[in-house]
Amino acid sequence: MDRKSVWEKISIPSSETNTKYPFYFNLYNYKTNGIIFVITGLILPLISLIMFRFIGGMSTPAIDEKTNAQLVTYNFLVSFASTIIGLVFLLIKDKALFFKSGLFIFYGFQLFVPLIGVLLSTFVSLINFGSEWKNIIFLWFQIIAEIIVAIVALYWTTDLKTRIISTFKKDWLKILIVILVGIGLMIGIGQLYGFLVKGTALGEDSQNQSELIGLINNENPTIRITYIISLFVLTILIAPLVEEMAMRHAVYVGCGNRTIALFVSALMFGMIHVNSGDVEHILSYVLSGLVFSTIFSVCRGNVTYTWLTHAGYNAFAFVLLFIN
């Protein structure tokens, strides 16, 4: 049995939405363009991250804060340069396909969002605000940058907006079932992983988690409430949509092969959540990425399902955070 028939057999039943607005898994040749995409978008940035972490000591107590900031910057520049190389190659190869397919969303997320963050954080550092307010302002810069990426993605990508709207109108029951199954899988895998790593360094919060929840316990109620609202907007309303369009829709387009993209997408999802250096926590994010990638694959490349599952799980985690 060939790979195509296997995917067809395990995919959800086809619907009018999938028939009228199909997602094409093989727009790019995975043996040529796909290799360039994976090398520049995943392999080189991941090697850089690992080297700066385990050879340079990035984000470890062994180095001082100034040195760590330099290593983080160097890693960012290497990853940024590698991603730009892939962008230029694929853009020159076929400019129309680059935009119509939605591949540009990946580069918007990986290049535009962090670049805006770097530029505006430099500006914010000149403002006479406390560090807490600066963190909140920076969070909103990220939110605004991701909103811009989402708007452009929905406007330029062929059938993306129409596919999402049609799915809401005609496949709402499938959406509900996939969300419930997906969140259940996420919770089950998370509990199993937590049990296995309990009492080890892997059982501690990742730097990404620590940064996100850092201001929730702030003594100033104004800062605390403002941050909670900001965190809600980012992690539930904005980030799930943008991350799924970038890490699922765009990555699957760039890879040009559904099976390869399943694993590349999961690894990329893990990498973007540990890019500050704590690589040892990547597995928990990769497992989450595998769930989302599997959903995207079996739901015939419809990002609506992964977006809402991602948002639903984040909402669950958000509520659980306050219960704990």
Distance CA 2, CA 320 (A): 43
Q: What is the pLDDT of residue 219?
A: 85
Structure-model confidence comparison of residues 240 and 199, the more confident one: 240
Query: Which segment of 128-132, 184-188, 280-284 scores lowest on mean pLDDT?
Result: 128-132
Q: Which helix (H) or strand (E) holds 94?
A: none
Distance CA 62, CA 277 (A): 13
Residue 303: pLDDT band by 50, 70, 90 thresholds?
A: very high
Q: What is the pLDDT of residue 4?
A: 57
Query: Which segment of 136-140, 215-219, 245-249 scores lowest on mean pLDDT?
Result: 215-219
Residue 295 tokens read as: 């959903």
Computed over every residue of the chain, the mean pLDDT equals 92
Q: Which helix (H) or strand (E) holds 257?
A: none
Residue 255 tokens read as: 């890879």
pLDDT beyond 80 at 122: no
pLDDT beyond 60 at 308: yes
Distance CA 25, CA 257 (A): 6
pLDDT beyond 70 at 3: no
Residue 269: pLDDT band by 50, 70, 90 thresholds?
A: very high
The whole-number average pLDDT for the span 167-196 is 95
Instruction: Measure CA 321 to chain center.
Output: 21
In sequence order, what DSSP letters do the residues of 151-168 get, joined into one string? HHHHHHSTTHHHHHHHHH
Residue 259: pLDDT band by 50, 70, 90 thresholds?
A: very high
Residue 74 tokens read as: 């160097």
Distance CA 124, CA 99 (A): 32
pLDDT beyond 90 at 93: yes
Q: What is the pLDDT of residue 1?
A: 44
The whole-number average pLDDT for the span 245-270 is 97
Residue 123: pLDDT band by 50, 70, 90 thresholds?
A: confident
Query: Which segment of 56-60, 205-209, 248-252 scores lowest on mean pLDDT?
Result: 205-209
Structure-model confidence comparison of residues 209 and 11, the more confident one: 11
